Amino acid sequence: MAFLDNSGDIILDAVLTDTGRKRLAAGDGSFRIAKFAVGDDEIDYNLYRNSNSSEGAHPSGSAFYDVNILQSPVLEAFTNNTSIMNHKLVSYSRDDLLYLPVIKNNDTVSQTVDKNTTAFTDIPVGGYLVTTDYTTSDPDTFSSATSTSPFRTFVGVVRGNRSFATAGQFICLDQGIDNTDLSVQKLDSADALRETQYLVEMDNRLVQVLSLDGTTVARPSFIDDDNIASYYFSLNSNAQYFAAPDGQAPGVAEFNRSTNEDSPADTFSVIGDTNGGRYGTRFAFRLLAAENLQTSNVLFDKLGGNTASNYVNSGAVFRFIDSTIRVTGFTTGYRVDIPVRFVKKT
């Protein structure tokens, strides 16, 4: 890995993805370049120096406002998908867009571990604790824990063992235009800003996607050489992962404009507020801890560590591994990273 020399001519540096290299090596004719992506991970746009800049306009005039950006060091392309292209660029042909949609983790429908307290440290802020084995997932294990412990309140705890999967929290995301300048409405089904396809990426050694009713383990579309599993979900084919009125996700609040004209907002929404916002789709799924985490401590010893005693007022010590669940909208390219901590009572 090195920096490209961008002091002169424009340089295009491209590499194949893991899938592309695999198909090229197969030599069976399946290799065909169909898509490409560009990103700007290295660029700091605060370096743009016009009259609004904190440093003032560039002394050499308007032709030099962006010179610091154009001369920023840029890394050469490399193939590790876990550490490059974190900020992809997107193009829209429409010229009437004043707002762009986002995807947000819905901590109202499924509360994160830090939702109702700031007392705990060493937790995945904005994310979840994921229990791995039967003992850690069983609420009775922590019947004597402090009443404020997440293992007693269920707040922010995903039960990753199948026996208790439907008893805990799950991953829930709202998509739409998060701006109160717009009245509360549901995005039209034909609107290009409405997300109907999602890509979910996670470490296949640690976790799998489980349906909301706890009956079906989803099959990944692809597992790369870094053991990152990619799951593809479409509203047309996987309605059980989308909330009504778009889909049929069981136990997930409907994502729609209220019929109450005085307060038309969805009370569970994290898009907009009571007076504004445009709703796209609500996407949800559960997590199932991998068999390796349930029956063995090898990965905990290799990738994780041990918590302090009386972790989050539970009265127990846990083995843990920190990881991330990544969800990307296929249509808009917007991405959300949700921190998770896999825990197993010692």
97 domain residue, yes or no? no
pLDDT above 70 for 155: yes
At 289 the pLDDT is: 97
207 and 107 both lie in a single domain: yes
pLDDT in tens, 130-150: 999 999 999 899 998 988 899
Does any domain span residue 249?
yes
Has residue 132 been placed in a domain? yes
- For residue 171, the surrounding DSSP H or E stretch is strand 171-177
Cβ contacts of 261 within 8 Å, gap of 6 or more: none
Strand, helix or coil at 137?
helix
Residue 327 pairs in a beta bridge with 200, 336
Residues 84 and 214 in one domain: no
Residue 132 and residue 300: Cα distance in Å, rounded? 11
Q: Pick from 28, 62, 89: which residue ends a domain?
A: 89
Q: Is the pLDDT of residue 8 over 70?
A: no
**One domain for residues 77 and 110:** no
Confidence of residue 346 (pLDDT cuts 50, 70, 90): very high
- Tell me the residue type at 18: D
More confident residue, 19 or 232: 232
User: Are both 270 and 314 inside the same structural domain?
Assistant: yes
What are the beta bridge partners of residue 208? 288
Q: Which pLDDT value is given to residue 282?
A: 97
Whether 85 and 111 map to the same domain: the answer is no
Q: What is the pLDDT of residue 336?
A: 94
Largest Cα span, the chain: 70
- pLDDT higher at 337 or 275: 337
Q: How many CB atoms lie within 10 A of CB 326?
A: 16
Q: Mean pLDDT, to the nearest integer, of 310-316? A: 92
The tokens 């016009």 sit on which residue?
Answer: 50
Which residues does residue 326 pair with via DSSP β-bridges, in sequence order?
A: 201, 337
Residue 141 lies in a domain: yes
pLDDT band at 82 (very low <50, low <70, confident <90, very high): low
159 and 214 co-located in one domain: yes
The DSSP bridge partners found for residue 203 are 228
Closest by CA position to 72, among listed 42, 38, 40: 42
- CA–CA separation, 176 vs 34, rounded Å? 28
Mean pLDDT of 227-240: 95
Does a structural domain hold residue 63? yes
Do residue 158 and residue 69 come from a single domain? no
Which pLDDT score, from 0 to 100, does residue 19 have?
77
SS3 assignment, position 280:
strand
**Phi/psi at 103 (nearest 5 deg)?**
-125, 130
With a pLDDT cut of 70, the percent of the chain lying above it is 98
Phi, psi of 69 (to 5 degrees): -70, -45
pLDDT grade for 1, boundaries at 50, 70 and 90: low
Q: 85 — alpha (psi -120 to 50), left (phi > 0) or beta?
A: left
Query: In the structure encoding, which two tokens stand for residue 15, read together?
Result: 């590499």
- 82 within domain boundaries: yes
Domain boundary among 89, 114, 138: 89
Same domain for 189 and 322, yes or no, is yes
Q: What is the pLDDT of residues 169-194, one digit of tens each?
A: 999 999 999 998 988 999 998 888 99
Question: Rounded to an integer, what distance in angstroms lies between the CA atom of residue 212 and that of residue 28?
Answer: 39
**Nearest Cα to 346, choosing from 285, 283, 301?**
301
Report the Cα–Cα distance between both ends of the chain, in Å, rounded. 41
pLDDT value, residue 331: 85
Residue with tokens 């010893």: 301
DSSP 8-state symbol, 51:
T
Are both 109 and 241 inside the same structural domain? yes
Residue 73 maps to a domain: yes
Domain boundary among 89, 117, 137: 89
Place of tokens 């069981």: 250
Considering only CA atoms, which of 78, 83, 79 is closest in space to residue 22? Answer: 79
Distance CA 283, CA 102 (A): 13
Mean pLDDT value across residues 247-263: 88
The DSSP 8-state label assigned to residue 46 in this structure reads G
Mean pLDDT of 118-127: 86
The distance of Cα 107 from the centroid of its chain, to the nearest Å, equals: 13
Place of tokens 């090195």: 2
Domain of 182? 102-345
Asked if the structure places residue 168 within a domain, the reply is: yes
Q: pLDDT (tens digit, 9 = 90+) per residue, 18-72?
A: 778 888 999 998 899 988 888 888 889 989 999 888 888 999 999 889 988 888 8
Looking at residue 304, its pLDDT comes to: 96
Contact 337, 324 (CB under 8 A): yes
The domain total for the chain is: 2
86 pLDDT more than 80: no
- Asked if 167 and 59 sit in the same domain, the reply is no
Strand partners, 202: 229
Shared domain check, 320 and 175: yes
Domain identity same for 19 and 78: yes
Q: What pairs with residue 185 in β-bridges?
A: 278
CA dist., res. 113 & res. 155, Å (int)? 6
